[in-house]
Amino acid sequence: MSKRFYVTTAIDYVNGQPHLGHAYEKIVADVIARSRRSFGEEVFFLTGLDEHGQKVQQAAVAEGKTPQAYCDDLAAVWKAFIVRLDLSNDDFVRTTESRHKSVVQAILSKLNAEGHFYKENYRGFYSTKEETFLTDKDRRPDGTFDPSYGDVVELQEENYYFKLKDHQQWLIDFIEKNPDFIYPATRRNEVLGFLKNNILEDLCITRPANRLNWGIPIPFDPNYVTYVWFDALVNYISIPAALGDSAAGSAVNYQPSTINHPLSAWPADAHVIGKDIVKFHAVYWPIMLKAMGATLPKQIVAHGWWQKDGAKMSKTTGNVVDPIAVINEWGVDAFRFYVIRELDIGPDGNWTDEGFKARYKAELADALGNLINRSLSMLKRYRNGILPAQSNELAPDAEKVLNETRSLLEQNQLQAALQSIWSLVTRANQYVDRTAPFKLAKDPTKAARLDEVLYNLAEVCRILAVLLWPFLPGTASKIYAQLGLSGAPDKFAEARWSGLKPGHAIGTPAALFPKKET
Ligand code: MSP
């Protein structure tokens, strides 16, 4: 059985409100997953929820619920959210599931038995909000801690620590030898700079159960639960292990009982995450995996953060984008298109309602929608919807875009891939304007030329459906249906010229992106 292409998103804090940032990350991962499927690869796409920790415990108490009941209610909201985004995920992990918890405990037992942990008394400062210890390095010049840490309390407690220092030089060498491990290069350089200029502090991997009990119990010491980040990162390997992946299972010392069709996915090919959690994924996670004896993921894909109207999104100021409201009004594909077209993976982005509407009108309604609609309507009107003889006038343009798009998708350049696809949309719209089929139709001596033009336009529409499928799956399927083709346009190999056969009857054209009065 061949290994599947394995792509993940970060797992979201269950008590957060699903927003634009979460939606963006999931759509990026979905486009990567769908494009690999389209290339003919088998894929395993995982997303899910991070459900443990003090904040969840406190919020549950405040609502008079048990933490599990509180998480169950919110998990339903998140699951509905990903359905609205049209995600093609293969599984959905919740860190409170026993399939995940067993693996976390198996890893803890293994690493403890192999001497990776030690217990130490610590006196210092603790941010409950971030569930992390702070040191003097975290103080601002005036000696205070940033308000983003919330209330910072001084405490003294014994905990288990994971020895990270021993692995620091190995990690530097690994990142240097594997230039694609952290994408894009700006983030890679930041991580290398950090590792070369600081001595790694060992990682506190427990919290005393008498202070926080909403966590996974430490198997070798009942007085402690697992630090939420150690728990959360493990999701990437726990789910493959639980689904019978032998590479994952042997690294984590966990074999599920009976699995009929064991998964083969580890190591992950791409962990899609935001820039704020690069250190967890590019420093702690590789060291955890190395200590377990697991193969490292191929790539950490770190995207930037969205703002709205040039300012941080914040519920308190009302400066937020509600993805569901946008999808309700404009459709999921318009939302998916805007976030990928507007923001390359890496830099920060800025959502403006005007920008969204402008792209909807110019690129979706006037460019793509109009091309499909007029091409198919003319074929219907002038040739009764029947494909004329094959003609290859636009074949070289389509071929060029096809090759370019594939190579850009393979390099995570999703924005550039959309630009490339739109170059074909523009080319075909110019072709309509230049060849003027509505004039040709009036002149019976130009019938052969009109046949050529109509074939070329219909075939470009079909190829566009295939190229667009990873990005706009609903729209791509509609184009296929309007072309009278069955099945989904989900195979990249079918984007080769001459898929439409002469004599084929198309379906009924209909507007894909209705114009709106706004
Ligand atoms: N639970 C942790 C991740 C654990 S992964 C093993 C977490 N959760 S989160 O809900 O705060 O964030 C989830 C993802 O959303 C992160 O990758 C984060 O970067 C991303 N985003 C949160 N706000 C964002 C924006 N404003 N813009 C883009 N992405 C943002 O961190």
For the Cβ of 45 lying below 6 angstroms from any atom of ligand 1, the answer is no
How far apart, in whole angstroms, are the C-alpha atoms of residue 248 and residue 238? 7
Nearest CA to ligand 1 atom 23: 21
Specify the range with the lowest mean pLDDT, choosing from 163-172, 251-260, 261-270, 365-374.
251-260
For the Cβ of 276 lying below 6 angstroms from any atom of ligand 1, the answer is yes
Reported as a single tens digit per residue, the pLDDT across 421-443 is 999 999 999 999 999 999 999 99
- Position 46 confidence tier, pLDDT thresholds 50, 70, 90: very high
Q: What is the pLDDT of residue 491?
A: 98
Q: Which residue has the tokens 């990903």?
A: 82
The CA-CA-CA angle for residues 65, 97, 206, to 5°, reads: 80
Report which secondary-structure segment, H or E, holds 197. Answer: helix 185-197
Q: Phi then psi for 102, rounded to 5 degrees?
A: -60, -40
Reported as a single tens digit per residue, the pLDDT across 229-269 is 999 999 999 999 999 999 999 999 888 877 889 999 999 99
Can the peptide bond before residue 297 be classed as cis, meaning omega within 30 degrees of 0?
Answer: no
As given in the structure block, the two tokens for residue 372 are 């499909």
Mean pLDDT, the chain, integer: 96
For the Cβ of 277 lying below 6 angstroms from any atom of ligand 1, the answer is yes
Q: What is the pLDDT of residue 288?
A: 98
Q: What is the pLDDT of residue 255?
A: 84
Percent of the chain clearing pLDDT 70 (strictly above): 100
493: CA distance to ligand 1 center in Å? 35
* pLDDT of 59 over the 70 cut: yes
Rg of the chain over all Cα atoms, to the nearest angstrom:
26
Name the DSSP class of 215: S
Name the DSSP class of 59: H
Name the DSSP class of 360: I
**How many residues are there in the chain?**
518
Name the DSSP class of 462: H
Reported as a single tens digit per residue, the pLDDT across 73-86 is 999 999 999 999 99
Reported as a single tens digit per residue, the pLDDT across 108-124 is 999 999 999 999 998 88
* pLDDT of 517 over the 80 cut: no
For the Cβ of 288 lying below 6 angstroms from any atom of ligand 1, the answer is no
**Which of 4-13, 126-135, 138-147 holds the top average pLDDT?**
4-13
- Position 295 confidence tier, pLDDT thresholds 50, 70, 90: very high
How far apart, in whole angstroms, are the C-alpha atoms of residue 95 and residue 46? 13
367: CA distance to ligand 1 center in Å? 34
Q: Residue 450, Cβ neighbours under 10 Å: how many?
A: 23
Q: What is the pLDDT of residue 123?
A: 85
> What are the residues whose beta carbons fall under 8 Å from the beta carbon of 153, sequence distance 6 or more?
125, 126, 128
Q: Which residue has the tokens 């979201």?
A: 12
Candidate from 12, 237, 301 with most ligand 1 atoms within 8 A of CB, to mutate: 12
How far apart, in whole angstroms, are the C-alpha atoms of residue 161 and residue 159? 6
- Position 182 confidence tier, pLDDT thresholds 50, 70, 90: very high
Reading phi first (left if > 0) and then psi (alpha if -120 to 50, else beta), residue 412 is in left
Percent of the chain clearing pLDDT 90 (strictly above): 90
Query: Do the Cβ atoms of 31 and 470 come closer than 8 Å?
Result: yes
Q: What is the pLDDT of residue 518?
A: 60
Specify the range with the lowest mean pLDDT, choosing from 99-103, 256-260, 395-399.
256-260
Closest CA to 23 of 484, 391, 343: 343
> What are the residues whose beta carbons fall under 8 Å from the beta carbon of 72, sequence distance 6 or more?
none
Q: Phi then psi for 87, rounded to 5 degrees?
A: -80, 150
394: CA distance to ligand 1 center in Å? 43
Ligand 1 atom closest to Cα of residue 276 = 19
pTM of the full predicted structure?
0.96
How far apart, in whole angstroms, are the C-alpha atoms of residue 162 and residue 234? 15
Ligand 1 atom closest to Cα of residue 22 = 15
Nearest CA to ligand 1 atom 22: 21
For the Cβ of 50 lying below 6 angstroms from any atom of ligand 1, the answer is yes
Ligand 1 atom closest to Cα of residue 312 = 26
How far apart, in whole angstroms, are the C-alpha atoms of residue 291 and residue 462? 50
How far apart, in whole angstroms, are the C-alpha atoms of residue 74 and residue 235? 19
Q: What is the widest separation between alpha-carbon atoms in the chain? A: 92
Mean pLDDT of 405-418: 98
Higher pLDDT, 98 or 260: 98
Higher pLDDT, 430 or 126: 430
Q: What is the pLDDT of residue 376?
A: 98
Q: What is the pLDDT of residue 120?
A: 95
Per DSSP, the residues of 230-292 read: HHHHTHHHHHHHHTT-HHHHHHHT---S--SS----PSPSEEEEEGGGHHIIIIIHHHHHHHH
461: CA distance to ligand 1 center in Å? 37
Q: Phi then psi for 350, rounded to 5 degrees?
A: -135, 120
Closest CA to 28 of 481, 485, 340: 340
Q: Residue 209, Cβ neighbours under 10 Å: how many?
A: 16
Candidate from 14, 24, 25 with most ligand 1 atoms within 8 A of CB, to mutate: 25
Query: Do the Cβ atoms of 343 and 184 come closer than 8 Å?
Result: no
Nearest CA to ligand 1 atom 10: 12
As given in the structure block, the two tokens for residue 263 are 């998964």
How far apart, in whole angstroms, are the C-alpha atoms of residue 471 and residue 161? 43
How far apart, in whole angstroms, are the C-alpha atoms of residue 96 and residue 228? 11
21: CA distance to ligand 1 center in Å? 7
- Position 138 confidence tier, pLDDT thresholds 50, 70, 90: confident
